[in-house]
Structure 1
Amino acid sequence: MRERLSELWERPSFRVLAYVVFAVAMFGIFLVLTFPERRVRQIVTVQLEKALGHQYDVSITELGLWRLTGAQLEGVQLKERVPASELIGAEGGLAQQIYVERISARFAPLGSLLRRGATVNYQVDIGGGVLSGSYTHGSERRLVSVHSDDLDLRQSTLIASFLGIPVFGQLDTDVELELHPTRPLLTGGEIALTGRQFTVGPTVLRTESLPVDLEVPMTNFGNIVVRAHVESPEGGGTPRLVIDAFETRGRDINTEFWGHVDLGAQMGNSRPRLEMRLQVNEEYVTANSLGVVFNMTEFRNGRHQDWYGFTLGGTFNDIAFRGAATAARGPSEAAEPADDGEAEADEDEG
C-alpha cells in the first residue's frame, strides 16, 4: 500500500488533485465555522434547488460537520413546485413531497488518489435504513456505488415517493456503476438486488393503454432476485444493460424477465428488448375481481397454460407491450424480441 501511494504521489497530476481536494475540504470547514448555520443552510438550499432544476423547494432542519472533511444535513424535505392551477379541481393532484432524515457526505482524499478522480463518500438515512457508497469524478470516467443491508421499505417514505405507490418488504442492494465522464450514459457496472416479502399497493393505475383507471390491490411479490450488468462494445457503440437474472416468487404472483436494454443518452430514449412472463394465484384474481384484466387481448394472446407472456420493445418513452405465448413458456424456449426494423419486415412478408 505504501509503495502504491508513493508511486501515485510522484505523479504531478495526483499531487495537484490532492491539494485541490484538501483546499476544498478546508474551505467547507471554514464556511461552516465562520458563517452562522442559518446562512450556510440558505447557501446549501439555493445550490440544491439549482441542482434539481428549480423543480423542488428544499428545506433543511440542521447542518453541521461530518468526519472533518464533510457536511451533514438533517431533516431534508423536497416539495415539488406545482402550479396552483394544477392543484385545483376534481382531477388536481398533490405536490410530490420527499423527506430524507439525514444526508452525510465527505471528500475522501485517499480514495481520490487511488481512484484517479475526486471522490466523495456518502450516507443517506432514508428512514428504514442507510444507503451508503461513493461517487468518483475522473477525467475518463465517473464511478458510483450504492450499498444497503436489510433496508426496511415499510419505514421509508423515499422509495414510495419516487414510485408513487406504497412499497413494503426488505431490500439489499449492491450496485457498482461506471458512467461517461461528461454525458449521463452508463458504460459499465453491475447491479445486484435481493428483496424479501416484497409487497406493493394498493394504488390506482392510470395509463393511456387502459380505457379506465385500474385499481391495483395489495400484491405480494415475495422474494426478488435481480442480477444485471452493463457492457459496452469495444471501439464505441451503444452500451447495453443485460439482465442476468430477474425473478420474483410470491404468494400472489410470480414473474420472470430476460433480455437486454440498449441504453440511450436519456432513459426515455433507451430501447428495451425484453421478454417477461407472470403467473397469478387464482384466489388473488377472484378476491380482487381482476378477471376482466386477464381477459384483455394482450393477456389472451400471451397465455400458455397458467402463465402469461409478453414482449417489451420500442423505447421507454413509447413502450410496445405485446402478448407473446412463446414468452409464457420461459426463457429457454422464447426467442429474444426482434428489433423494430426486423419486426416490420416480418409483418410485410406476412
Structure 2
Amino acid sequence: MKKGTSIMVGILILCFIASMVGIFQLFKAKTNKPVPLLNKDLNFFGATSKKGPGIGVVRVYGPIMTEAESYFAGFQERGCDSIVKKLDKFRKDDRVRAVVLRVNSPGGSIGASQEITEAVRRLKDDGKKVIVSMGDIAASGGYYISALADKIVANRGTITGSIGVISAGLNLTGLMEKHGVKMNVVKQGKNKDIFAYWRDMTAEERTILEELSKNVYEQFLEVVSKGRNIPKNELLPIADGKIITGEQALKLRLVDELGGFLKAVTIAANEVGLDPENPNLITSTEVGFQKLFELIGQESMSQRSMNFQQMLMSNPLPVLYYCAYSIPAPYITMMQ
C-alpha cells in the first residue's frame, strides 16, 4: 500500500473512532446518572453532567488570540471569542454556581486577554465564583486572565508570572544587503512602517513604541493589583517580566493555594455549598470530531513553527523572501 493511501486510511479510522466516541458521549449526556469526579475531571472528549446545580468548567489552552468566527463541519474554531461565549453562557445559566477556569497558556495578545478578563469580571459581578486552576504554564496573558479570579490554584511547578509586555520586529538589513535585496516603499504618514524590517528603527519610533508598551503595562498592573489586592508599589518589584513557579507565586501572593484541577474543583464546590465529592461538572459540548480537529490544528501549528525554525537555521534566504512579500500590519499586536 502506498504511503499516501496508508495515511488517508489512518485518518479515516481516527475519524470513525472519534465519531463513535462522540455519539457515545451524546447518548451518555441524556442520562441522569452522576459521574464520579475522578472519571470526568479532564475527560478528553468532554464530560457530561447530571441535572441540577453544578460547576462550569472552561479551558484556556495554548496562545490567547482572537481567531476568526469560522466553522468547520459545524464546529467552532478555538480562540478568545469561543472562550468568552462559554463564560457568558455559564453566567446566564442558573445551574452554574461557580466556574473553574483551567488555564494552560503561555500568554498571547492583549486584546484577547482583556476580552476574557472582562468575561470573568461579568461572572463575578453576577455573583458567581471563579476559581482558576493553573496547569503546566499560566504566564503573561495566562496570568492576566487569572488575576481577577476569587481564588487561584497552581501546581508547585506551574510556570507563571511573566507580568510584562513585549513587542518585537525583525531587522533584516544585513541579510538584505548580503543578498542584494532592496525595498520600495510608498506611504502616507511617517510612522506607518514603524516596524519595518528593511531599515533601522529611528529614535522617534522607539519612543512611540516605548510609550505604547508602558501604557499597556500599566493596564496589566492595574488588573493584577486590583485582582490580587496588592498595591502597585509592592507589585512593581515582582512585575518585571520574570517567570516564577507556583510555589514562588504563593509566597508572593500571586496565587492562593497549591494543587491541581481537583483541588480547584473542591474549593469551588465548598465556596458555593456543593458536594465536593460529586460537584456535577458542567462542560461545553465538545465531542469527538471537534477534539480531533483541534488536535490536528495544534499539531499543524507546532510542525509549522518547527519547520520555520529549521529553515531559518539552515538557510535564512527563504525567510527574507517571505518577509519581502508580507506587508507590515497597520497595527502592532503587543504580546504579553
Give 1 or 2 for the bigger CA radius of gyration. 1
**What is the TM-score when the length of structure 1 is the normalising length?**
0.27
Structure (1 or 2) with the greater helix fraction: 2
The TM-score, its normalising length taken from structure 2, stands at 0.28
